[in-house]
Structure formats: C-alpha cells, structure tokens
Amino acid sequence: MRIYDIIKKKRDGEELTTEEINYLVENYTNGQIPDYQISALFMAIFFNKMNKRETLDLTKAMINSGDTVDLSGIKGIKVDKHSTGGVGDTTTLILGPMVAACGVPFVKMSGRGLGHTGGTLDKLESIKDFRVELTTDEFINNTNSINISLCSQTANITPADKKFYALRDVTATVENLSLIASSVMSKKLAIGSDAIILDVKVGSGAFMKNIDDAIKLAEEMVEIGIGYGRETIALVTNMDEPLGMAIGNALEVKEAIETLRGHGPEDLYELCIQLGTRLLLLAKRVKDEKEGRQMLKEVIDSKAAYNKLIELVRYQGGDTDYIQNTELLPRANHIISVKSNKKGYVKSLNAEEVGKCALALGAGRETMTSVIELSAGIVLNKKIDDKVDVGDTLAYIHANDIAKAEEVENRLKRLYIIGDKNEEDKKLIYGLVTKDGVKLY
C-alpha cells in the first residue's frame, strides 16, 4: 500500500477502504508517513469529505493507535459526558455530583484545555491538594465507592489524534465534520463508559456557529458512538453567551458550589437538569423525564449532590474546607466593575470574545505550557435580555494585574451590545439527537 495512492483516491473523490484508513493512521502515528502527505490527504478530505463508514473506521483506527481504559470493574451502567467546548461551562462539576448522588456512576477522564478558559482539571486544581492524576485502579475503586471520579487522561490515549490535531491546526483543516467527530469520539470511546451524552454547543462561543451544522456534527458523533457499540446521545445547546455568570477557574468552582447549594444561575442549573435527566434515562435509573427531573431536584434540595462533591474532593485528596468555605479559593488582587454608559437591554454578548478577555486576564492557556492564573476571570452581572441603566454594573473583572484589567474593561464594555429588547426569547436547548433521529425543541 502507498500513501500516494490513498491521497490520489481521495483527491478524486473516491471512498477509502478500511485497510487504507488503518494503514494511514498506523503509519502516521509511528512516524513512517511524513506530515506533508497527511496534510495533502486532509485537504482532500476537507473538500471531498468522508462517508459514515469511513468516519467510523477512522475513529476506530485512532482508538487503536493507543491505550484504551477498561472500566468493566465498575459496577452498574457508567455514564460519561462531553462538551464540544464553550465559555464558562462549569456543568461537569455540578452534573457529576448530581448524577452520582442519584446512584449512577459518573466517570470522566479529561484532557487539558487550550485557549479560552481552563478545562475541568484546571478548575479542580483551585481546590488545595486535589489530585487530578489517578491510576486506573484508583479511578475504578473510587467510582465503586462513591459513584464518581474525575481525572486526567493517561498519556497514551489516541496518540494519532494528538498528531492529527496539531497538523490540522496549522493546515486549515480543522473544520471538517468527519475529522472533528472522529477526533472527539476517539478520545471518548477509548475510555470504557457504557453511555455517553454529548453537549454540542452552538453559537458565538462555540466551534459550530449555526444550528444546522451543530445538528450535523451531533448526528455524526452519535452515529460513531452507536457504531462502536455505545449508547450515545447529544443535546444541541446554546453558546451565544457564556454559561452561568462566572468565567475563570476558581470563580467557576465557586459557581458550581453555589449551584449545588441550590442558588446557582438559572441557565447553568437548567442545563445540568437537562443533561442529568438524559443520563438517568440512559442508566435506566428512571422511567421518564419527569421522574428524572424530580430526582435531580431532590438531590439539590436535600444537599445530597453538594455532599457528593465534598466526598469527591475528600476521595481525591483535596481540602474539603475549600468547598465549605469558598473564601479560601484563590482570589484575585483586584476586582473592577465594568459600568454601562447606555440604557436599554443587552442584545448580545459574544461568548468567544468574552472567553478571550478571560484568557487575557490569565484564566486560560495561550500555549500548552502557559501557567493558568486560577483566581483570574470575569463574573457577569448582566446577560442577554437583561435590562440595563446608565451606571449599572455589567460585569466584574477579577485580575492580578491592573493594566490587564483596564484593557479588558474597555474590551468588555464594547462587547456588551445594548439596544432594544430582543424579539425572541433566548433558548437553552435546540434539539436532542439519538439513534432514532433528531428532535428539535
């Protein structure tokens, strides 16, 4: 087999065989095929696309390029959740304890985030001594004891994806449905949960800027999961503005704790209820949506979910005082309020740009080796559709460097578009994608 022939075939719009896909993934991962040939192939895939069979084969080959994690030692139907990436998305830290408190094992191994804000692992590191590196045995034992474990991926999960992604990033070939879906799903499927819910974000802060594309991506990923033999569903959700109020690591941990105590932001809480209900259904814990919602509400009201977070922190070596007293979490030196000089309603607030503001304050990584400032970030005081008067506080900037704070203050002021009331109410959930098809909300 020759990579030249595989490139030519795809250039001419033909379908690649399973053997050809296996060959190229294996030999690119082990360094036999040079970057320039895979770059050419990806550009051919970008224009001529892959069909469902090719996409599933690509995903399988990527999974087989590295280790897989066997979680069969965990009792019960284990569920996992993955978001395609948004701004201020704190759901895992809330959803995990909620679902676990309902008696369903919640397992999640995450990679580190790049850009915008930190990933779940970075957020958890705001809690003193919390260990995000667990052995697979610890991961399994903890989940068997308390129904939840959150840790970092082992180094050798889908090495093919690491090389592919780095190459796509510099050759303008990221934005292809098959390449995105196989990249995301290979990482998820390499870890042996029984059921997966995907939160596919759409809007100004997401990869997918329109609903049609997001639904297509969701369908592609659900089909891969099902094709691999795992229960997989997706919710397509709104990322036109940041989720909740807090953006930034320690700030989001605090927001998660407040939500588990029963007074979090409405959108964040509702998204956790929606995702959680679906997970309880997948795990066969409840018979319908109504029962799921009820059970989740109960674990919030009874503080069972909040206590589950404390238990998680204890099991992973963290200082539980940080949960009980959020004043202990890392705090920034300066808090600046951003005031409105207009009157009206918030029409829009570009989530990606707000994410970049948080990044500029140090809340995210510019490069893989950047050090995150856990205390830095933004707390919104006004969101889309909120009424604003001149002099009202739009947001609070948490910064350690006053010059950076002032720069972000100006940027944030411009990002708040104030005008007349929006005609349509904003929507949190656009649709549900399952193996039976798409249901629009």
DSSP H stretches of helix in 283-426 = 289-301, 304-315, 321-324, 351-360, 402-415
187 among known catalytic residues: yes
CB of 178: closest distance to ligand URA in angstroms?
10
Our CB check for ligand URA shows the closer of 165 and 345 to be 165
Instruction: Return the bridge partners of 395, or none.
Output: 338, 380
116 among known catalytic residues: no
Name the DSSP class of 124: H
Name the active-site residue from 82, 201, 308, 398.
82
Name the DSSP class of 434: E
Distances (CA, A) of 114 to 73, 107, 407: 32, 22, 22
Name the active-site residue from 10, 123, 163, 187.
187
Residue 391: phi and psi, rounded to 5, are 95, -10
**Sites of contact with ligand URA (CB under 6 A):** 165, 174, 179-180, 183-184
d(CA 441, CA 427): 9
Which residue stretch of 85-93, 212-220, 378-386, 410-418 sits at the interface with Ca ion (rule: CB under 5 A)? 85-93
> Is 90 an interacting residue with respect to Ca ion (CB under 5 A)?
yes
On whether the CB atoms of residues 62 and 162 are closer than 8 A, the answer is no
183 among known catalytic residues: yes
Our CB check for ligand URA shows the closer of 180 and 296 to be 180
Our CB check for ligand URA shows the closer of 86 and 377 to be 86
The token pair that represents 376 in the structure block: 């830095």
Our CB check for Ca ion shows the closer of 284 and 426 to be 426
In the shown chain, the binding pattern of residues 270 to 289 toward Ca ion, with x for contact by CB under 5 A and - for none, equals: --------------------
> Is 244 an interacting residue with respect to Ca ion (CB under 5 A)?
yes
Distances (CA, A) of 425 to 147, 339, 384: 37, 25, 10
CB of 354: closest distance to Ca ion in angstroms?
11
Instruction: Return the bridge partners of 432, or none.
Output: 235, 439
Work out the end-to-end distance of the chain between its first and last CA atoms, rounded to an integer number of angstroms: 48
d(CA 355, CA 77): 35
The Cβ-side half-sphere exposure at 292, using a 13 Å CA radius, reads: 22
Our CB check for ligand URA shows the closer of 183 and 204 to be 183
CB of 377: closest distance to ligand URA in angstroms?
22
Q: Most distant CA pair in the chain: distance in Å? A: 69
> Is 246 an interacting residue with respect to Ca ion (CB under 5 A)?
yes
Tell me how crowded residue 174 is: count the other CB atoms within 10 A of its CB: 16
Name the active-site residue from 80, 161, 199, 240.
161
Which residue stretch of 6-14, 90-98, 173-181, 355-363 sits at the interface with Ca ion (rule: CB under 5 A)? 90-98
131 among known catalytic residues: no
Name the active-site residue from 65, 83, 183, 204.
183
The residue at minimum Cβ distance from ligand URA is 183
Nearest of 93, 86, 156 to residue 125 by alpha carbon = 93
On whether the CB atoms of residues 313 and 320 are closer than 8 A, the answer is yes
Q: How many residues bind Ca ion (CB under 5 A)?
A: 5
d(CA 296, CA 96): 11
Nearest of 228, 232, 73 to residue 149 by alpha carbon = 73
CB of 322: closest distance to ligand URA in angstroms?
30
Our CB check for ligand URA shows the closer of 143 and 176 to be 176
> Is 92 an interacting residue with respect to Ca ion (CB under 5 A)?
no
The one of Ca ion, ligand URA, none whose footprint includes residue 88, by CB under 5 to 8 A per kind, is: Ca ion
Q: Is 348 in a helix, a strand, or coil?
A: strand
Residues written for the chain: 441
CB of 29: closest distance to ligand URA in angstroms?
16
Our CB check for Ca ion shows the closer of 66 and 244 to be 244
On whether the CB atoms of residues 106 and 99 are closer than 8 A, the answer is yes
285 among known catalytic residues: no
| Subset of 378-397 contacting Ca ion (CB under 5 A) | none
The one of ligand URA, Ca ion, none whose footprint includes residue 180, by CB under 5 to 8 A per kind, is: ligand URA
CB of 180: closest distance to ligand URA in angstroms?
4
The one of Ca ion, ligand URA, none whose footprint includes residue 399, by CB under 5 to 8 A per kind, is: none
Residues recognised as catalytic:
82, 161, 168, 183, 187
What does the binding site for Ca ion look like in residue numbers (CB under 5 A)?
88, 90, 243-244, 246
